Structure formats: structure tokens, C-alpha cells
Chains A and B, each alone.
Chain A
Amino acid sequence: MNPQLTADGRLRHLLTLDGLPRAILTQILDTAESFMDVGEREVKKVPLLRGKSIFNLFFEPSTRTRTTFEIAAKRLSADVVNLNIATSSQTKGEAILDTVDNLAAMHADMFIVRHSQSGAAHFIARNVAPHISVVNAGDGRHAHPTQGLLDMFTIRRYKGAFHNLTVAVVGDVLHSRVARSQIHALTTLGVPEVRVIGPKTLLPAGVEQMGVKVFHNMEQGLAGCDVVIMLRLQNERMRGALLPSAQEYFKFFGLTPEKLALAKPDAIVMHPGPMNRGVEIDSEVADGPQSVILPQVTYGIAVRMAVMAMLAGGNS
């Protein structure tokens, strides 16, 4: 049984997009659409989560993800507490559960969890009281489901549908929880051709089993794409001897106007941020007319509102 769903098939936690049915993904996107106009109102709030307490539990620093979760919760009228918990990678499960138990004793209703270890959000979800929901805001290399969902929301807004698209995910797929969530969502939503493009050292072994086509040559991989999703290249990968240098990487896998011209003329360019300009993406592309990178940030608020509203409603 999927631990993310209730017995009657509603969303209970959001931990990964792997295994979530298309109907749930579509319901989240539809709900997010209806939240889009709340940001335009005189009072940018709706009272759905009034009286609920949401704790942002960030064991790994992140300014933007935490901020958009916070704004989303506040637009739903929830009370939000931000906890940035410094940890060593050795932090034991018991220490995390102590923290969670203490917050539950303060009548928490929802935990938004970011952790450098894969499985941290699942671990918390398995150990919380039945009325508490957990949202995974990124765990290790495993999953970042709300980022994947906001990317799907962005694609649907610009392209209208999924069934006729070719989508490329470019860069460091190996270390990317974002890429994994995107690939699960794209295949579940019926995108007929999902491509991953990157050097062999940055693509996970057996990635084809996720239902994607693999390209090691960016020019070939971009040909005919409707959507180009660039991934952030973490600098520490350079030190880990997986790559020769940032300049070398940019030459082969950086998105320049010349390479983008190989995709369809109306292709959109996405990036989960923060960008390394001049490493995985040229500024001319990042700030160019095909870039939808800033709209992604705005849509992230509506998508996170939708997830929190679906988790909080109908369970008392």
C-alpha cells in the first residue's frame, strides 16, 4: 500500500512522485490553478488553514524553497514556524524523532521536511501521529516532489497538455532529486518522450529503466524538444573528479543560444534554481525570451498551496 495515500485514495503525505497515480497529480495541478488568482487579490489570503500550525523543518539550508513554502502556508492562513536545524550527516534517527515529538506536543499539524539524507521525510512520516501530514521538501538524492509538480504545472501552463511533448532533462541527473521527481511526473502524466542528456559520469546506471531516452551528445538530445529542463551543477562535483572543469562542462553541456536553436522554435527553458550562470546555462538563455525560470518560482507558491490544502482538508 502507498504510504502517501489514505485507504480511500486521498493524499495523506507527499513524499515522492514515484507511484502517485495520474489522477492525484492532475488534481494537484488543477487545484494549484484555482489558487493562482489568490496572489492577485487585495487580500492575498484564503482562510482554509486558519488555526493550523505548519513547521518548516529544514535540516539542510535552502532559502528559496523554504520561503515559498512559508508564503504558501501564510496565504492559506496557517501559522508557520521555521526551524533551521544544523546537523552533521551523522545525526541519528532518534534525534530527529525527538525533535518531531517535541513539535507534535506543540500541536503541529504538518511538517515540511528538507534533509540531506534520502528517506528522511519517509522516516518522519512513518513515525508521526495520524493527524499530522508530512511534505518532503527534498531528501538527499531521492526526491523533491513539490519541485517536480511545479515544473509540471509550468509545462502545462505553457504547452497546454503532456501527450504530445518531447521533454529533455539536461545535466547532473545522478545527484539530482529534482530530476528523479521530474522524470516520474513526466512519465506518469503521459509525456511520450522523456530524454536525459549528460556525460556518462553524471547519469545514473540503469536510468533507461525509468522510461527515458539517454543522450550523451547535447546537440542530438535537444533536437526537436518542446521543453528543456536544465539541472544545477554542484561545484563539489568538479572536485570529486567526475568532471574536468566548469569551462569544459559548459562547452559540451551548457545551454547556449546556439544549442537551444536546435530545439523547437517555441521550446521553453526551465531551471529549478539556483543557477550557475556560465556553467550549465548561458545568461543570454537564462534571461532570454524562451526562459520561464521566474514564472516557475511564482507557480511554486500555488502548487505548494494546493498540496498543503489537499493534505489538511477532510481528515478531522
Chain B
Amino acid sequence: MTASLPDAATLIDALAAAIAPGFDPDTRIVGIHTGGVWVAERLHALLRSPHPIGQLDISFYRDDFSRIGLHPQVKPSNLPYDLENRTLMLVDDVLHTGRTIRAAMNELFDYGRPASIKLAVLVDRGGRELPIRPDFAGLVLDVPAHQNINLSRLDDGHLSLSIA
């Protein structure tokens, strides 16, 4: 069953508005595949970032690889700039256990040593298993462990949040 959630575009607008006041234009925005890249693309436009967005597929860094194996459709990570001493805005759709963010930070450090990393997520649903917290969250919800929050992209490009 699916309960109603706020409109994803409205949430991204609010997220961008929260980030904008202290946003250094030299910051590089990095989205985590797949939903995080969609959110990053919108933030990139709303924040008028002059730099290309980076894309991270954390499949090679997951901590459950030996249990569930490799995702069959790993997309190449693409960070079209040197990370050394950069300020990064890491973007994901849903923050849950924090394991994805742990994997993403490990991967980023294999590209170089960033000066700082901030974390922006569309939804912080609680349930953390690691000491990780977002710097910016479009929506904070307390979701029971057995439920999932999912961001999908419709054929017309609109993003839609659902809970099941």
C-alpha cells in the first residue's frame, strides 16, 4: 500500500533554498546512482552551479558484496574533475542506514582528498546504523524498518516519492 508523500519537486526546491545561502559556487555536486543523480541534477540547476555534476555508483564499495554479489547493472562512476582539496556536496535520494554514504565516501577518497564533504538528501527516513547525519534534508520522517521509501522518475521526467 502506498501512502501519500509531499511532491518531490517541492521538496527539492526547499532543499535548494536551504543550501543556497551558504553555497560556495566552487562546490562540486556529486549524486549517488540512481535517485541521488536525479536529485543532484535538479539541485545543480536550481543552485546555478557552473561545474558539471559528478556521478557515483557505489556498487564496488558496498559492504554486503560477499552476501549479495555485484549488481548486474553497475554504472561507471564519473567525476569529471580533480577531487584534491575540493568542497563536495554529496547528494542522495533517501538516507536510511548510512551504509551507502559510508561506501560513497570511501570511493571519493580513492579519487583524491577532498577539502570537505557535505551531505544533502531528499528524505531522511531515520534508522541509522552508522554515525552519519545529513547537513541538509528536504524532509525528515520516521519510517518503520519494514517500509521503503522510493524515488522514481516518470516518463515525462517528473520525480515521484512513494512509500510501501
A interface residues (Cβ-Cβ under 8 A, vs B): 10, 27, 30-31, 33-34, 36-38, 41-43, 45-48, 309-310, 312-316
Contacts and interface: CB of A to CB of B under 8 A. Distances in A.
B72 A30 contact: yes
A154 to B, nearest CB: 18
Contact of A315 (B61, B69, B74, B107): B69
B70 A45 contact: no
A198 to B, nearest CB: 38
B57 A34 contact: yes
Given A10-B69, A47-B106, A48-B60, A42 B76 contact: no
B68 A314 contact: yes
B82 to A, nearest CB: 9
Nearest to A305: B60
A302 to B, nearest CB: 11
B111 A314 contact: no
B4 interface: no
B66 A312 contact: yes
Interface string B72-84: 1111111000000
A314 B77 contact: no
Interface of B: 57, 59-61, 65-70, 72-78, 106-107, 109-112
Given A36-B76, A37-B76, A314 B61 contact: no
Given A37-B78, A314-B70, 7 more contacts: A27-B72, A34-B74, A41-B110, A42-B110, A314-B67, A315-B66, A315-B69
Contacts of A43: 109-111
Contacts of A36: 76
A313 B65 contact: yes
Contacts of B59: 34
A27 B77 CA distance: 18
A31 B74 CA distance: 7
Contacts of B78: 37
B67 A316 contact: yes
B110 A34 contact: no
Contacts of A10: 69
Given A34-B76, A48-B60, A309 B70 contact: yes
B110 A30 contact: no
Nearest to A51: B66
A37 B77 contact: yes
A32 to B, nearest CB: 10
Contacts of B70: 31, 48, 309-310, 313-314
Contacts of B57: 34
A34 B107 CA distance: 14
Contacts of B76: 33-34, 36-37
B61 A47 contact: yes
B66 A314 contact: yes
Contacts of B74: 30-31, 34
Which of B69, B74, B110 counts the most A-chain CB atoms under 10 A from its CB?
B69
B34 to A, nearest CB: 14
8 contacts: A33-B76, A42-B112, A309-B70, A310-B70, A312-B66, A313-B70, A315-B66, A316-B67
Nearest to A46: B60
A189 to B, nearest CB: 17
Nearest to B109: A43
Contact of B65 (A38, A41, A45, A48): A48
A10 B70 CA distance: 11
A10 B65 CA distance: 14
A45 B78 CA distance: 16
B61 to A, nearest CB: 6
A190 B162 CA distance: 40
A243 to B, nearest CB: 45
Contacts of A313: 65-66, 68-70
Given A36-B76, A47-B106, A314 B60 contact: no
A79 to B, nearest CB: 15
A309 B59 CA distance: 11
Contacts of A45: 110
A23 to B, nearest CB: 9
Nearest to B57: A34
Contacts of B72: 27, 30-31
Given A31-B70, A33-B76, A313-B65, A47 B112 contact: no
B110 A314 contact: no
B67 A47 contact: no
